[in-house]
Amino acid sequence: MKNYSHWIDGASCQPSGGEWIDSVDPYRGETWAKIPRGNAKDANLAVAAAKRAMTQGPWARMTPTERGKIMRRIGDLVLQKAERLAEMEVRDNGKLFAEMMGAVRYKAEYWYYYSGLADKLQGSVMPIDKADMLGLTLREPVGVVLALTAWNSPLNFLAIKCAPALAAGCSVVIKPSEFSSVSSLEFAAITKEAGLPDGVLNVVTGFGNEIGSPLVEHPDIAQITFTGSDVTGAKVYEAGARHMKRVAMELGGKSPNIVFDDADLEAATAGAVAGIFGAAGQMCTAGSRLLVQNSIKAEFTERLLAVARTVKMGNPMDKTTQMGPISTAPQFDKVLKYIDIARSEGARCILGGKPAELGGLFVEPTIFTDVKSKMRIAQEEVFGPVLSIIGFEDEAEAIAIANDNVYGLAAGVWTRGIGRMIRVSKALQVGTVWGNTYRTYSFTMPFGGMKRSGVGRENGIEAIEEFLETKSIMISTAEGGPANNFIPR
């Protein structure tokens, strides 16, 4: 077992309070590492280091091209150390090793992509409407960025947030979830090896009220980027607003996965299963509402049950395992609570609905039918392997049911009709629509939500805009300057 330290100013830093938190392996149910229990003093040290890096250190003096080269080396090292990083993720959150290996390797592409953007952030010469005046704009880093990441995919969120922030020239302080901090601390050391100057990337760990809140409230934090629940996100948003900080939010979802009667049913079945039982349903984009046209509902339900019954649960390090445990004990209890709520509301459980016989934090793949759109099981985010099947008659009703929710993160549409695909995609109140696929991500494609699913966008060129300020410069070219001191020209 290893006792980890904070990563502040390019070095390991023991928690000022001298306390650690157990990191529990959700599969084995045992403590496998200890992470620092940070406090306000640790928060101040990390932010001070990040501010120095932006204002006094070599990072502030580097050209964008030089910054991009360092970021590319980070991507190279992520590839070299992918196996260890993936294992850290599995031990922390119980996701499948095979999935994590692919995900970690793919995250190197984020560092490559944004390394290439670092020296392409151009200002403009504006066609200003004033005579004898030159108008310019510059793109400048917003300042010190606070990245608050969720427990289900810490390295994923770290790359998504930090790569564009560094490309913009910012420095960052990362506060991962106390449930899964180890991989972020391991990653921090990689950035040192890649040549990232001290203080540019800092990682501090601990409980939200003890170190997260002091970070959010810190006057030298200019931008907050957060991934988590909408309830916590609202609190962070409110705190950021009090201090006029810029805030980007990637929050929860209750994504509809819509199957029309002209769909490829075999492909749609695979997409529906992967959309809710992948990662044990612990993903913000989980297709937890399966909307099926009534004309094929009975047939499609049987297809779905046939596949779902074969889902293999077990050791996430085993290549044959298809679904791992719930990541934390509180989340395990929450999932079971929602299963009870669904039954009490009149939904009919046709598969699963209880803890798995494996014991530990495993919940059986669970499917409910006879679900109405206003039921809590169809309105609230469960974040577990629980699927609600809802029937619909036609295109208009499918759209109405899909949009009948406070969330608007993602949706799936399964149809062979290109016209229907475009009509429905345009009508859905979500940030991402997947057509005849599900859970497909790309670093080039903007990602984010509408309504209570978030503010701002991650991925793609849009993401880097979150970390940039635009400065306007107007220079008089008139000989002798303005005509007088009172009337602008």
- Among the listed residues 13, 162, 170, 284, the single catalytic one is 284
Report the first-to-last Cα separation within the chain, whole angstroms. 70
C-alpha to C-alpha distance for 295 and 395, rounded to whole angstroms: 13
Is residue 125 within 8 A of residue 178, CB to CB? The reply is no
DSSP letter string, 109-146: HHHHHHHHHTT----EEE--SSTTEEEEEEEEE--EEE
Residue that is written with structure tokens 């057509």 in the block: 435
CA gap 90, 213 in Å, rounded: 28
CB neighbour list of residue 271: distance below 8 Å, 6 or more residues apart: 257, 287, 412, 414, 436, 437, 438
For tokens 């805009």, name the residue.
Answer: 465
Q: Is residue 166 exposed (0-12), middle (13-18) or buried (19+ Cβ within 10 Å)?
A: buried
Whether 250 is catalytic is yes
Torsion angle of the four alpha carbons 399, 401, 403, 409, in this order, in degrees rounded to the nearest 10: -100
Record the tokens describing residue 441, joined without a space.
Answer: 């991500």
* Segments in 30-181 forming alpha helices (H): 40-55, 58-61, 64-80, 82-93, 97-117, 154-167
Give 364's contacts (C-beta < 8 A, 6+ positions apart).
Answer: 313, 351, 352, 353, 354, 355, 356, 385
Rg from Cα positions in the chain: 24
**284 classed as catalytic:** yes
Q: Are 50 and 171 in contact (CB under 8 A)?
A: yes
> How long, in residues, is the chain?
489
Burial of 461 (0-12, 13-18, 19+ CB in 10 A): middle
Q: Give the DSSP H or E segment for 347.
A: none
Report how far residue 269's alpha carbon sits from residue 261's, in angstroms, rounded to the nearest whole number: 13
Query: Which residues, in sequence order, are bridge partners of residue 139?
Result: 470
- Name the active-site residue from 250, 364, 381, 466: 250
Q: Where are the beta strands (DSSP E) in 246-372?
A: 246-250, 256-259, 289-293, 348-351, 366-369
The residues that are catalytic are 250, 284
